[in-house]
C-alpha cells in the first residue's frame, strides 16, 4: 500500500480507479483515493477536507465576511476538479469525479459549509472575485463553482456565483475535464 506524505507523517493510501481504471478516470492523482473497503462510509476520504478546514474555518468565514481572503485555504474550501492544479496541495484536495463532488455536497459538514461560503461570496458588494480572492484563487473559485453546478444543477447558488462573478460563463477547463476526464487541456493523455 502506497502512503501519501502529510505533515505529521504518512497518511493512508488512497486507492481508486487509477490510470485508465473503472469510471473513466485516466489520471492517477499524487495521492490515491481511499477505497470503500479501507474507509467504510467515506469512499472519497472526505474527512481530509473536514480535517483541513477544522483549524481555519472560523478564519475563512471572517475573511469572506470582510470581502478579502488573506490566508491559505482555497484548495479545501472551494475544491477543483482533478487535473487543473499542479501543486501537491491542489492534487491532494482535488475532486476526482462528479460522484465525488456529489458526495462532498451531501456530506453533513462539507455541503453546508460550501453553500455558506458561496453565499458569503455573493454578499460582498462592489468587488470582483479577483478583488476578494486574488487573481489565481478567483480562477479556482470559478472552477469550483462550475464543478458543483454540474454536480447539482438543481442547487442555484453555484450558478448564481458564476453569473455574478463570471458573467454566467462556467470554467471551460473544468467542463472539459468533466466531459473528457482522460484528456489533458492540451489534447494529450495525462
Q: What is the pLDDT of residues 54-98, one digit of tens each?
A: 999 999 999 999 999 999 999 999 999 999 999 999 999 999 999
Q: Is 42 exposed, middle or buried (0-12, 13-18, 19+ CB in 10 A)?
A: middle
CATH annotation of 45-179: 1.25.40.380
pLDDT of 84 reads 95
> What are the boundaries of each domain within the chain?
45-179
Q: In sequence order, which residues have a C-beta less than 8 Å from that of residue 77 and are 6 or more positions away? A: 53, 57, 60, 113, 114, 117
- Please give, one letter per residue, the 3-state secondary structure of 136-159: HHHHHHHHHHHHHHHHCCCCHHHH
Query: Phi and psi for 83 in degrees, rounded to 5?
Result: 100, -10
Q: Band of the pLDDT at 49, cuts 50, 70, 90?
A: very high
Q: Band of the pLDDT at 184, cuts 50, 70, 90?
A: low
Amino acid at each position: 500500500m502506497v502512503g501519501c506524505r502529510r505533515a505529521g507523517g504518512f497518511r493512508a493510501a488512497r486507492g481508486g480507479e487509477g490510470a485508465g481504471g473503472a469510471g473513466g478516470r485516466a489520471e492517477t492523482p499524487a495521492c490515491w483515493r481511499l477505497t470503500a473497503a479501507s474507509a467504510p462510509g467515506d469512499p472519497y476520504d472526505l474527512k481530509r477536507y473536514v480535517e483541513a478546514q477544522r483549524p481555519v474555518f472560523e478564519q475563512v468565514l471572517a475573511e469572506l465576511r470582510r470581502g478579502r481572503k488573506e490566508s491559505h485555504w482555497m484548495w479545501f474550501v472551494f475544491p477543483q476538479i482533478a487535473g487543473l492544479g499542479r501543486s501537491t496541495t491542489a492534487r491532494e484536495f482535488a475532486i476526482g469525479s462528479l460522484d465525488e463532488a456529489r458526495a462532498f455536497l451531501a456530506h453533513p459538514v462539507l455541503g453546508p459549509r460550501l453553500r455558506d461560503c458561496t453565499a458569503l461570496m455573493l454578499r460582498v458588494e462592489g468587488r470582483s472575485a479577483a478583488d476578494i480572492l486574488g487573481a489565481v484563487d478567483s480562477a479556482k473559485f470559478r472552477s469550483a463553482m462550475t464543478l458543483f453546478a454540474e454536480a447539482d444543477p438543481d442547487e442555484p447558488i453555484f450558478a448564481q456565483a458564476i453569473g455574478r462573478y463570471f458573467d454566467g460563463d462556467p470554467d471551460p477547463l473544468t467542463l472539459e475535464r468533466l466531459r473528457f476526464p482522460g484528456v489533458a487541456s492540451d489534447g494529450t493523455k495525462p
